[in-house]
Structure 1
């Protein structure tokens, strides 16, 4: 038994089992909410909007009964990179400034780095929530329904919806196949090469073999998926399912709009006034 603790892998594009209010929301409503929050945080990436969105994600995760086991294990090298980034950002200085004896240290760069890091974590959590509470089969009908106003412009909305759905379906399968290939490669006996050039050639050959095997597996999976789609009536059936918002979706829209509006109002009015007084 290995003494090293087994790391939890990233669980994406696989809904967590359960039947909650968040699971029952329309997939198109979740996509619109994510898009709206993304636009808000793009133009106003302040602490208040970030905190408001983080609270929304935490409440949604609580309501959807998302277990802690779906969270991946953070590797140590990522913590090292974050610490290194925070240290280098501190050298940028800026207000506020603290005095440690005769030395003044500006914390503006560090605060900006922490704000960007928090923004990245919140956006990742928002996308993960959609992944953990949405069935992949519901994405294509939702995208087709959202793109309905573009059909008079002769834009192939249904084809786009099918392409998105197939890509989301294939992604978890390919990850599993690549994991098996990588595990099989690690089980192969390794030759001990003394010369650096020989080791480089061996690594290059193994990389070529791994890429060739990955391409073969991807083509085989694509052929199997094509046969399954043909047996079920063709690609048009993927986006043909009825998909429309319900009353709970409008309630979710209202809650998100109110929270984002309050956060934006606080960010634009209360905080600048407090900063001017100080």
Structure 2
């Protein structure tokens, strides 16, 4: 089922993103060219992965095993999803006690003490699932986030369109053009304030699909509720005939 709302709040100083849901494994594979090789689980029950005596964390090594872990986390919601990726086991085992304690701090408080990107780990991400169900991810390169968001929004719109077609017309699913990263980047001023993309209120006007974007800031409790029209910032639009994405502003910040 497509997501009814997607909350996004981007901090460009720390490269941290708050979202109302994590990305699916298929979205990750569609958006990122370089797969994750290894991860340290910052919070995990016994039996998941293998124990690393140097850090005291459990770890998962190998692309296939990591994909299996991600899919299990998303499908069952049982396995805690707090992890940091790393390139080399040898370098990871050179982490100092202070650096290991910083990782424990991040897992406990959901924020960093110093830089969230470690030379010895060469990590591209720190992934944290907060108690409220919000996902917080640190990205070494924000282009990785822009690419993932473009895939997520495209998939949600595509599913919405096909759900309606299948119910009423019994037609085959259609594919739509992926939202370009250049258009995602144009939304940067909005993403920095905290917004909700409402697929629940998706409209169609003369072959143009309009996804309303509402100002949410840090009102996480209201993410899944209907926002008043005074909070409408604009619509992210897809012109099906022209196969073009664009943003239609309703009001400024």
- TM-score, length-scaled by structure 1: 0.23
- TM-score, length-scaled by structure 2: 0.25
Question: Relative contact order, CA 8 A, sep 6+: which one is greater?
Answer: 1
Instruction: Point out the structure with max Rg over C-alpha.
Output: 1
